């Protein structure tokens, strides 16, 4: 096979071989198949939601004509930093990541910006640092939708437990603050017990067990992610509270994610609602924006052609807020928030195959 005759103007043939990449005539780094090479760091693989995102990513890369390198930082910002160095050494022209510690990632973002490697963050927004685009849903809306559902079901009074994620994460902070603000404003008769869990299902189950023992009249639970689903159902079963919504002992449960198990549990009356976080669209648009960055495209705030809105979070930082509907058994409206039925075929959780 004839050797490629074009090399990047800034790299020697030896460097090009070391990076296992070459350049096309436009100077864009490409893999051996000629496609632009990008890196995607998976933040973890211990939840159904992120495993779904991992499943969707290669398909989206293929559809967009991108060659893919992947790593997994396992919820560890030090590993994410090391993985970014690996991507640099491989010659990627863009990186998608989902930093779980949104403050500690700033130095890595600064380094990538200096090397002119565009970054798209998925699901989380960095507290500081430059990224080309943030792809996530409106996480404050998650908390508000959960609040409106529980507030309506409880008739504006009673006790609920909020199983928080990690408050070092923008997602944990957004969901927590929005849920609390909504309850104080709209349902002041509802008492909220906030429990920090660090996105750890075992911690969530232990704290829920303690709360239900101290307050057996708790009637609502807001899980900020499906990480707490299994443990929550186990605790409710142990307490004799895992009963259908028609039973007066029923505890109303709202989750976040929209994984298949949640949708089945809603239909089965084990939980009552979730907010469907779009794992499929996170994968698709993370890579869509990386390709756009490589192609030199720019964006501005406003409505998109894919049912979302780009907002300017701060100077130089844009966020594409994807649609994330409330999902219930009946598809009703709660506190002014409309929902879709759990068996709706438009939900990604019903289309994993």
> Which contiguous run of DSSP H or E holds residue 293?
helix 279-294
List the beta bridge partners of residue 302: 310
**Crossing angle (nearest 10°) for helices 229-238 and 201-214:** 30
pLDDT tens-place values along the chain, 353 residues long:
333 333 333 333 333 333 333 333 333 445 556 899 999 999 999 888 999 999 999 999 999 999 999 999 998 999 999 999 999 999 999 999 999 888 999 999 999 999 999 999 999 999 999 999 999 999 999 999 999 999 999 999 999 999 999 888 889 999 999 999 999 999 999 999 999 999 999 999 999 999 999 999 999 999 999 999 999 999 999 999 999 999 999 999 999 999 999 999 999 999 999 999 999 999 999 999 999 999 999 999 999 999 999 999 999 999 999 989 999 999 999 999 999 999 999 999 998 76
DSSP string, 298-309: ---SEE-SSS-E
C-alpha to C-alpha distance for 346 and 187, rounded to whole angstroms: 31
Closest-CA residue to 138 (of 322, 325, 350, 264): 322
| Pair 259, 349: CB distance under 8 Å | yes
> Which contiguous run of DSSP H or E holds residue 195?
strand 189-195
DSSP code at position 291: H
**Crossing angle (nearest 10°) for helices 170-186 and 139-153:** 40
C-alpha to C-alpha distance for 243 and 220, rounded to whole angstroms: 13
């Amino acid at each position: 096979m004839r050797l490629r005759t074009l090399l990047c103007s800034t790299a020697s043939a030896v460097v090009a071989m070391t990076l296992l990449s070459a350049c096309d005539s436009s100077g864009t780094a490409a893999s051996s198949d000629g496609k632009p090479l990008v890196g995607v760091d998976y933040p973890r693989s211990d939840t159904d939601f992120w495993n779904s995102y991992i499943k969707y990513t290669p398909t989206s890369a293929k559809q967009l004509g991108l060659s893919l390198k992947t790593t997994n930082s396992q919820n560890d910002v030090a590993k994410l930093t090391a993985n970014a160095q690996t991507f640099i050494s491989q010659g990627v022209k863009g990186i998608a990541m989902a930093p779980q510690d949104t403050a500690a990632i700033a130095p890595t973002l600064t380094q990538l910006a200096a090397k002119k490697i565009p970054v798209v963050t998925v699901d989380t927004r960095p507290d500081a640092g430059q990224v080309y685009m943030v792809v996530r849903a409106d996480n404050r809306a998650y908390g508000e939708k959960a609040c409106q559902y529980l507030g309506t079901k409880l008739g504006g009074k009673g006790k609920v437990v909020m199983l928080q994620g990690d408050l070092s994460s923008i997602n944990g902070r957004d969901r927590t603050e929005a849920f609390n603000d909504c309850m104080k404003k709209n349902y002041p008769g509802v008492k909220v017990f906030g429990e920090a869990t660090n996105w750890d299902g075992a911690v969530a189950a232990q704290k829920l067990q303690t709360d239900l023992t101290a307050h057996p009249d708790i009637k609502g639970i807001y899980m900020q992610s499906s990480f707490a689903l299994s443990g929550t159902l186990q605790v409710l079963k142990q307490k004799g509270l895992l009963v259908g919504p028609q039973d007066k002992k029923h505890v109303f449960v709202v989750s976040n994610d929209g994984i298949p198990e949640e949708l089945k549990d809603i239909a089965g009356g084990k939980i009552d609602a979730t907010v469907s976080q779009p794992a499929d669209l996170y994968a698709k648009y993370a890579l869509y924006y990386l390709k756009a960055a490589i192609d030199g495209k720019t964006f501005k705030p406003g409505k998109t052609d894919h049912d979302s809105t780009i907002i300017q979070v701060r100077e130089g930082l844009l966020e594409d807020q994807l649609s994330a509907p409330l999902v219930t058994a009946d598809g009703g409206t709660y506190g002014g928030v409309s929902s879709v039925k759990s068996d709706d075929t438009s939900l990604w959780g019903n289309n994993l195959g």
